[in-house]
């Protein structure tokens, strides 16, 4: 962890932002994180993540959301070797292994979600079964737009925490 942070702290600001961008997908978040350096430990890194994330505008959140594949969506083969694609595949492992009727229900739920909220459905899928994810999707389809935006933002924050921890251990 210390080596990752020492190297990241030593990078020029634009390079530091570029390196951390795949963790969240929002350029404003990545630049905000780079501006918080130096950071020497996991706890202050996660704290900075939260502070920067919750201070962003809705457009920045939407940029982060759009950097994810849809739940259950196959990733292009050429992208499988990128760190974000590998993270997404790990995070969605239970969905990839789901039965076809569950995959169809998730695809239909994704379509309804996009139609209602004009963005993809974001959920921190790590450790959740495909049935749990489908139930969460169905529940969140009942939210009003403001509530759902905050819920999606919270899910993205959780994903960023998991990815920051993976990044630190790389």
Tens digit of pLDDT for each residue in 84-135? 556 555 655 555 555 788 888 999 999 999 999 999 999 999 989 989 999 9
pLDDT at 99 (0 to 100): 75
Name the residue range of residue 37's domain: 2-168
Burial class (CB in 10 A: 0-12, 13-18, 19+), 156: buried
Domain count, the chain: 1
pLDDT at 101 (0 to 100): 86
pLDDT at 76 (0 to 100): 37
Q: Peptide bond before 85: cis, by omega within 30 degrees of 0?
A: no
CB atoms within 10 A of CB 123: 22
Give the DSSP H or E segment for 1: none
pLDDT tens digits for 125-170? Answer: 998 998 999 999 999 999 999 999 999 999 999 999 999 999 999 8
Burial class (CB in 10 A: 0-12, 13-18, 19+), 59: exposed
At which residue do the structure tokens 């950097």 appear? 67
Confirm if 29 and 52 have CB atoms less than 8 A apart.
Answer: yes
CB atoms within 10 A of CB 78: 8
pLDDT at 63 over 50: yes
pLDDT at 26 over 60: yes
> What does the chain come to in residues?
170
The whole-model pTM stands at 0.85
pLDDT confidence tier of residue 56, bands split at 50, 70 and 90: very high
Our answer to whether residue 145 is catalytic in this structure is no
How far the first Cα of the chain sits from its last, in Å, is 8
pLDDT at 74 (0 to 100): 53
pLDDT at 79 (0 to 100): 44
pLDDT confidence tier of residue 82, bands split at 50, 70 and 90: low
pLDDT at 81 (0 to 100): 44
Give the CATH number, domain containing residue 138: 1.10.3330.10
Nearest to 90 by CA among 22, 163, 30: 163
Selecting among 68, 118, 145, 161, the annotated active-site residue is 68
Nearest-angstrom CA–CA distance, 27 and 14: 10
């Amino acid at each position: 962890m210390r080596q990752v942070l020492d190297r990241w702290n030593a990078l020029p600001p634009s390079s530091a932002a570029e390196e951390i961008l795949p963790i969240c997908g929002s350029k404003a978040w990545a630049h905000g994180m780079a501006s918080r350096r130096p950071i020497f430990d996991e706890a202050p890194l996660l704290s900075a993540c939260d502070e920067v994330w919750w201070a962003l505008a809705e457009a920045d959140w939407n940029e982060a959301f759009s950097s994810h594949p849809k739940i259950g969506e196959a990733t292009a083969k050429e992208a499988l070797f990128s760190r974000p694609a590998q993270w997404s595949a790990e995070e969605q492992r239970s969905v990839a292994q789901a039965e076809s009727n569950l995959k169809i229900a998730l695809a239909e739920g994704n379509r309804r979600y996009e139609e209602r909220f004009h963005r993809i459905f974001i959920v921190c899928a790590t450790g959740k079964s495909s049935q749990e994810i489908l139930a969460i999707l169905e529940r969140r389809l009942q939210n009003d737009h403001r509530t759902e935006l905050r819920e999606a933002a919270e899910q993205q924050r959780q994903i960023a925490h998991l990815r920051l921890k993976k990044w630190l251990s790389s």
